[in-house]
Structures are given as C-alpha cells and as structure tokens.
Amino acid sequence: MVEIFGHYQLIEKIAEGGMAEIYLARDLSIKSNENIVVIKRILKKFDDSERLSNLFMNEAKINMNMLHQSIISVSDFGLINNRFFMTMNFVEGLNLHQLLKKIKDLYLEKPNYNDFVYIIAEAAKALHYAHNCKDINTNKKLNIVHKDISPDNIMLNLDGKVKVIDFGIASLKENEKSNGKDGKFSYMSPEQAKGKKLDNKTDIFSLGSVLWEFLAERKLYKCRTVEEVKEFARRASIPDLKKIKPNLPTKLISIVNKCLEKNPENRYTDMKELYKELSSFLQKSSPDYNLRKMKILVKTCYYEQNIYYSSLIEQTKNLDESNIIDFNKRRQEQLGLEKSYGLTNVKTQIVTNTIDLEERKKLVNRITEFKDLNKKKDPKEA
C-alpha cells in the first residue's frame, strides 16, 4: 500500500528479508519523471535493535564506498520516523533464481554453459573489485567479504549485464569469524558453515557452487532438511560433476572443482584469477560470444513485471496525503480479487547507479558518525 515516508512516496513493497523491507518509491523532492527510486528500510520490529541497526549501517557504508557498474551503490541514508533507510536507483531486471524459474515456466530455451560462464565471470570481476575496495575518505582497504553469494544475489538487467547485489551481511574485517548462521547453507563454504575465520576465499567457494548448480541443473546438496544441508556444507561433500554431466568440457569442470576445494588454500588466489580462467575458457569455447540471447531472455521474462510496475508508477504519480487512503482501499479490493482468481503480484530486483564522489564521501562520514554515536547511546538519539 502507498505510504508517505519523509520526502518519499512508498509505492509498493517489492521484497522483504530477515532485516529489512524494500519498496518501489518516488522521491517527491524531484519534480521530473526521473524520480522513481528504491527504498530499503529496516523492519519496524527491529528499529530498537542495536545489532541490526549496526548491520544496516554497515551495509550502507560498504555500498557507498563502492563505485562499480556491476555493484549496487547508495544515494541517500538516514533516519525517518525512527527507522534507518537507504535510497537506491530503480533498475529493471531479474535475479538468476527468478530468471531461470521464468524460463522454465515459459518453456524458453535454457542458457547454455557458455552463458553461465559469462555470468559467473562478470560476477567474479565485480567481487574482485569489492574485495579490494578502499575507503573513499581514508584510502585504506576495507577487506569486504560478501558472505551471501547465491542465485538470488546475482542479477541480470535488460541489457544482459550482470549485477552483484545485497551486501547485507558482508563483513569489513579481514579474517572476521563467521557465526555459522548468516548466509545460505546451499552455497556456503565449509569454513563459513563451521563458524571459522573468513576471507575472500569463502566468496570464491560460493560463486563456484552457483556455477556448479547451473551446470548440473540441480542443487549442490540433495537434502531433505535444513540440518542435512548444514552438515553437507560443513563437510563440503561435492558430487562429481563429470558423472552428472559427462558432456561438459573437462576444463570447465576443473575450474568449478578448484573453486569448491575444501581447503581454502587450494582454491583460486582471488576473484581476478578466477575471472581470467573463466574468460579464457569462454574465448576458446565461443570466440564470437555476445549478449544478444541473454538480452532477449531477460526482456521476455521481465515483460509482466514491466507492465505491472509501469502501471503502478502511472497510477500513483498524482497522489498526495489527501487521497492516498482512498487509493489504498481500491488497491486492497483489487488485490483481493486477484487472490480469489489465483493471481499473484509480480516482483523484481533492484540495483543502483552512482552519485557524485563528494556526496558519497559525505554519506560515508554520516554513516560513520551514526555508528560512533550508536556505540555510546540509543541509535534513535543518534
């Protein structure tokens, strides 16, 4: 339902996670048609939680320091009605989980292994940048580790470009110890599942597990319960990909296997090395590879979402506080009808563009001030 939040109009909730909710929104301070944004807001039940407030600020600081075409960035951050929020630009596209599901639902031709190699290579390039990112104020390396690489957090936009999203549980400390809980066990490295110290090698394992899943066309661990998945993740019991898909190129299987080595020291040194290996394979496997097929797939699968959001944006452009209640009533009735006919709302993913470097520096300083005050007193007072 539509809600006024500071100088933002929240149009539609498009996702909710364990810590925050994400809204398609309109920046009312911008009068042009370029005022559609995305708001990520901490859940109301956690607005008094010091731990989650710090996590939220941590994510905002990480995103604000990064300036890369394949990684999200933040354009605003603050506290409205006692709730932390961050603002991002709305970009149309689908995450890999959504895309593959839609391809299956529409009986479209599946991406081939070269398409998946391209996607994972681009994600590796983005993560190499993140792992080596420096604080824009101090120029010190931040030692970012994503810790939650999965098909949900790798996205393709309408141009077929790859975006790595959601640094919500990322760490900023080198060799920070994992709590063994945050993240998805199906893609988690054994050291992360065991709660050991982590570095960039855990993301290499997770990215390799995503590629393994795409190539094998099944989950890495076939388990019936969450506890079984946890145990398999701790043991890193990797099925033989060659037996599952014997026609896959031997070189590609060896790349995947190296990512999934149980001992982190036996994996690739960093994401740059993995990117080079994948790019070299793709160049030899498909010298004329291009994004035409991926563009068509994403645009076809995104068609319903495009209609849905375009309609919502148009319907809400002239709303103000005086007529929001009536609009929400009509929407509630409409949603009730959709539910009775078995229809469901379509959702999307978001990424962000970038803002001026000086503005980014100011926001990083603001986040740092929030975090410093948060150590001394209640975050709301901060």
β-pairing, 3-5 vs 8-16, is: antiparallel
Predicted confidence at residue 173, as pLDDT, reads 67
Higher pLDDT, 369 or 329: 329
79-88, 177-186, 264-273: least confident range: 177-186
Same fold, 3-91+303-347+350-376 and 95-293: no
Encoded tokens for 163: 């975006």
Band of residue 360 on the pLDDT scale cut at 50, 70, 90: low
Check if the beta carbon of residue 260 is closer than 8 Å to that of residue 187: no
Distances (CA, A) of 68 to 117, 236, 354: 20, 32, 8
The pTM is what? 0.84
143-152, 233-242, 372-381: least confident range: 372-381
Predicted confidence at residue 313, as pLDDT, reads 86
User: Is residue 337's pLDDT more than 60?
Assistant: no
Q: How far is Cα 68 from Cα 333, in angstroms, rounded to an integer?
A: 42
Percentage of residues in the chain having pLDDT higher than 70: 86
Nearest-5° Cα angle at 120, 198 to 248: 115
Encoded tokens for 137: 């104020």
Q: What is the pLDDT of residues 52-107, one digit of tens each?
A: 888 888 888 888 898 899 987 788 899 998 899 999 878 789 999 999 999 999 88
Which residues are bridge partners to 40 per DSSP? 22, 86
Higher pLDDT, 94 or 328: 94
Q: How far is Cα 45 from Cα 19, in angstroms, rounded to an integer?
A: 9
Buried b / exposed e over 71-106, threshold 16 CB at 10 Å, is bbbbbbbebeeebbbbbbbbbbbbbbebbbebbeee
Q: How far is Cα 191 from Cα 177, in angstroms, rounded to an integer?
A: 9
Top-level CATH class of 95-293? mainly alpha
- Work out the mean pLDDT of the chain and round it to a whole number: 85
CATH architecture of structural domain 3-91+303-347+350-376 = 2-Layer Sandwich (3.30)
> Nearest CA to 178 among 168, 187, 169?
169
Query: What average pLDDT does range 316-335 have in this prediction?
Result: 78
Band of residue 141 on the pLDDT scale cut at 50, 70, 90: very high
Encoded tokens for 222: 């076939």
| 83: DSSP letter | E
Check if the beta carbon of residue 267 is closer than 8 Å to that of residue 204: yes
> Nearest CA to 59 among 182, 196, 204, 225?
182
Separation of CA 182 from chain center = 15
**DSSP of 318-379:** T--TTTHHHHHHHHHHHHHHHHHTT--------------HHHHHHHHHHHHHHHHHHHHS-T
40-44, 278-282, 319-323: least confident range: 319-323
| N- to C-terminal Cα separation, the chain | 30
Please state the domain extents for the chain.
3-91+303-347+350-376, 95-293
Locate all alpha helices (DSSP H) within 66-172, ordered by sequence. 96-105, 113-131
Distances (CA, A) of 160 to 157, 291, 300: 5, 6, 12
Query: What average pLDDT does range 115-133 have in this prediction?
Result: 97
Percentage of residues in the chain having pLDDT higher than 90: 51
User: Is residue 354's pLDDT more than 50?
Assistant: no
Which residues are bridge partners to 131 per DSSP? none
